[in-house]
């Protein structure tokens, strides 16, 4: 029933934001950021569970831990980038949000390069002479 709690908090926050945006836009932005942080904190346990399961699967499959670590970094960049983008958009800063989105994509591409190289090397070993 955690989703019910999240939805409830979201609805209350949305109502407060509708009221605050008319009277005190700065406070509305602060409330929006606080809501985002509360939800992120609320879900930290779930994120930790996902990481634990992925780590166990990596060990069972005897996959190089480097790939697992890289995958976690990529997921972290994606989620944190999206979090920052949402906050920027809530503040009405679309241009800043676009820059964060672009930076996140570049960082993800750089992080993924070693995995791509490893895949290509493996494929080249399989191809005849």
Q: What does the pLDDT look like over 49-97, one tens digit per residue?
A: 988 998 898 889 888 888 888 989 999 999 999 989 998 998 889 999 9
∠ CA 30-36-42, nearest 5°, is 135
∠ CA 101-76-113, nearest 5°, is 75
Record the pTM: 0.76
- Characterise 104 by phi-psi region: left (phi > 0), alpha (psi -120 to 50), beta (else): alpha
- Please compute the mean of the pLDDT values over residues 110-121 and round it to a whole number: 92
Measured CA to CA in angstroms, residue 74 lies from 16, 27, 78, 129 at distances of 34, 33, 6, 34
């Amino acid at each position: 029933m955690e989703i019910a709690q999240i939805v409830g908090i979201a609805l209350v926050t949305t109502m407060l934001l509708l009221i605050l945006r008319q009277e005190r836009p700065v406070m509305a932005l602060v409330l929006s950021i606080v809501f985002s942080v509360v939800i992120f904190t609320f879900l930290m346990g779930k994120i930790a569970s996902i990481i634990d399961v992925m780590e166990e699967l990596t060990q069972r499959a005897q996959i190089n831990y480097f790939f697992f670590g890289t995958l976690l970094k990529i997921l972290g960049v994606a989620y944190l980038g999206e979090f920052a983008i949402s906050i920027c958009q809530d503040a009405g800063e679309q241009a800043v949000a676009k820059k964060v989105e672009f930076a996140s994509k570049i960082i993800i591409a750089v992080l993924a390069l070693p995995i791509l190289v490893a895949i290509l090397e493996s494929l080249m070993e399989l191809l005849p002479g």
